[in-house]
């Protein structure tokens, strides 16, 4: 997708950027047509804007704050969503000769069409220096929420491929 970002401030320890992009989410809903109910998966469309500040405390430890606003492009579904993310990032933690670990704890505040929620989140990333693949997991825990259909706890595990790493075959 298209993300447009502009770096307002780019210093060694502090960065500030703004951005905008389209956003999409898939939702399941009941559609009633001619008296027949059908369950469909629908893609909701949004425009989103963001402002992100980061501060590097030490080479392997940084903090950031991000504000994101999204506006719905259809008549139903969420119309206005605001999220404030406050996070820290511990990266390049050595677990072996070539194995690295990254840990990103976060708290975020979500407001959507008058409903609010406060959440804790943690992302863990395990990489090998000589591999473009990584294993990642994200955990989300609700602190408080009055958002309809809110889930108290969610997690996932995913395998990712880093296209930026360049490798050469040694014969």
Contact indicator for 64, 84 with CB cutoff of 8 Å: no
Q: Which two tokens stand for residue 153?
A: 């706890």
Query: Please, which residues bridge with residue 140 across strands?
Result: 121, 154
Give the pLDDT confidence of 7-40 residue by residue, as tens digits: 999 999 999 999 999 988 888 888 888 889 999 9
Among 68, 72, 61, 59, CA closest to 17: 68
Domain covering 4-161 in this structure, CATH number: 2.40.160
Q: 3-state SS string over 126-146? A: EEECCCCEEEEEEEEEEEEEC
Q: What residues does each domain of the chain span?
A: 4-161
Give the pLDDT confidence of 78-135 residue by residue, as tens digits: 899 999 999 999 999 999 999 999 999 999 999 999 999 999 999 999 999 888 899 9
CB atoms within 10 A of CB 146: 9
By CB atoms closer than 10 A (0-12, 13-18, 19+), residue 149 is: exposed
Place of tokens 């955990």: 139
Give the pLDDT confidence of 131-167 residue by residue, as tens digits: 889 999 999 999 999 998 888 999 999 999 888 756 5
Place of tokens 């990333």: 125
């Amino acid at each position: 997708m298209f993300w447009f970002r502009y770096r307002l401030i780019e210093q060694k320890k502090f960065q500030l950027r703004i951005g905008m992009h389209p956003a999409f989410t898939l939702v399941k809903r009941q559609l009633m047509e001619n008296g027949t109910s059908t369950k469909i998966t629908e893609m909701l469309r949004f425009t989103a804007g963001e402002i992100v500040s980061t501060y590097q405390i030490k080479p392997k430890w940084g903090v950031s704050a991000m504000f994101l606003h999204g506006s719905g492009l259809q008549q139903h579904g969420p119309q206005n969503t605001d999220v404030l993310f406050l996070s820290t990032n511990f990266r390049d933690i050595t677990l072996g000769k070539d194995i690295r670990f990254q840990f990103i704890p976060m708290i975020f505040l979500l407001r959507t069409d008058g409903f609010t929620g406060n959440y804790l989140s943690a992302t863990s990333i395990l990489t090998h220096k000589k591999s473009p693949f990584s294993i990642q997991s994200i955990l989300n825990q609700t602190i408080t929420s009055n958002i309809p259909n809110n889930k108290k706890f969610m997690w996932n595990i995913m395998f990712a491929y880093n296209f930026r790493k360049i490798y050469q075959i040694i014969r």
